[in-house]
A and B are shown apart, each in its own frame.
Chain A
Amino acid sequence: MSEPELAHAGLNLGDTGALTQDQAENAIFGFWIFLMSDAVIFALLFATYGTMIASTVGGPTPASEFKLLPAFVETLLLLTSSATFGRATIAMKYDEPRRVLFGWLGATLGLGLVFLAFEANDFATMFAHGAYPMRSGFLSSFFALVGLHGLHVAVACFWLVVMVGQVCAYGLDARVRINLLRLGLFWHLLDIVWIAIFSVVYLQGNIG
């Protein structure tokens, strides 16, 4: 079993004839550079968070604010949405019926929105405890990091709705396919950032 050489990150459309290899390579590589720079921003917010964990100024601490169960549910939601998006890109690649593509995209959007609802609920609970960003260095860095990730997920959900509109308006032409592949990379990368968030923020806060 020999896999074809991959031209770019994410699912390759290969020889389905939808796009030329050059088109796909150029279009995806540019977006990949943006994603890597986004990863650098998140990495530095993680570093800031790491140096701020102890700066609670007598206020809420990681141990008092972070609950394992909601973090676990959020992790499962985002991980599953990453897999359903992968399934949607396969439906797009092999020109499966439109309702299959829309079904998987809809499932992804639903999981993303439920994730955001859980996160909003977490934040609301923290605010009710007096754990708001201005309270301490720890909370400022927490909301900068996790809030920015949540904002990314919200933007990705909005982008997904736009993509459904593009598929309806233009059909699956080369441009729409490239856009869907880009959104897929964005979505998968957000789940990878979340792995770091649940490990460094939520799990570390519950150790000991």
Chain B
Amino acid sequence: MSDRTRELRTYAVGYGLSLVLTVAAFAMVRWPSFGARAIFGGVLALGLVQMAVQFRCFLHISMKRSSRHDLQLILFSALIIALMVSGTLVILFNLRGRMMG
């Protein structure tokens, strides 16, 4: 199989999987069959999987060793994001609880 065929297939697989994950997420909300909390959890999980699919198939980030360590940069950014986002959420929800509660 030539490089070109493989690359075309990677994009096609990424597009197909993303479509399925998108339709699944919208369907969960359009025709609700669980509690609100479970649906939101499902939507977030499907979204995370779709992000992983697009990082893999469209941005070609893989676990293979790369000389510039793009993956490490993504993981480091994810760590920074997790710290800042969770810190923001904890502090502001706590503040709301104390002031509005």
Contact = CB atoms under 8 A, between A and B. Distances in A.
Contacts of A83: 11-12, 14-15, 58
Interface in B27-49: 29-30, 32, 36, 39-40, 43-44, 46-47
Contact of B59 (A47, A94, A188): A188
Contacts of A1: 1, 6
B25 A9 contact: no
B60 A195 contact: no
A33 B73 contact: yes
B54 A9 contact: no
B96 interface: yes
Contacts of A43: 81, 84-85
Contacts of B44: 199-200
B36 A47 contact: no
Contact of B11 (A3, A5, A68, A87): A87
B6 A188 contact: no
By secondary structure, the B interface counts as helix
Chain B: number of interface residues, binned into ranges: 35 or more
Given A47-B85, A83-B14, A68 B26 contact: yes
Interface-central residue, A5, A51, A79, A195, by most chain B CB under 10 Å: A195
Interface string A46-59: 11101100100000
A29 interface: yes
Given A29-B70, A86-B58, A192 B40 contact: no
Chain A: number of interface residues, binned into ranges: 35 or more
Given A25-B68, A36-B74, A83-B15, A11 B7 contact: yes
Contact of A5 (B54, B65, B88): B65
Contacts of B30: 68, 206
B73 A32 contact: yes
Interface in A56-115: 68, 71-72, 75-76, 79-80, 82-83, 86-87, 90, 93-94
A148 to B, nearest CB: 16
A192 to B, nearest CB: 5
A192 B55 contact: yes
A191 B22 CA distance: 12
B29 A79 contact: no
Contacts of B36: 207-208
Nearest to B2: A94
Given A1-B6, A5-B66, A40-B77, 6 more contacts: A3-B6, A12-B60, A29-B70, A79-B15, A199-B46, A207-B32
Interface of A: 1, 3-12, 14, 25, 29, 32-33, 36-37, 39-40, 43-44, 46-48, 50-51, 54, 68, 71-72, 75-76, 79-80, 82-83, 86-87, 90, 93-94, 185, 188-189, 191-192, 195-196, 198-200, 203-204, 206-208
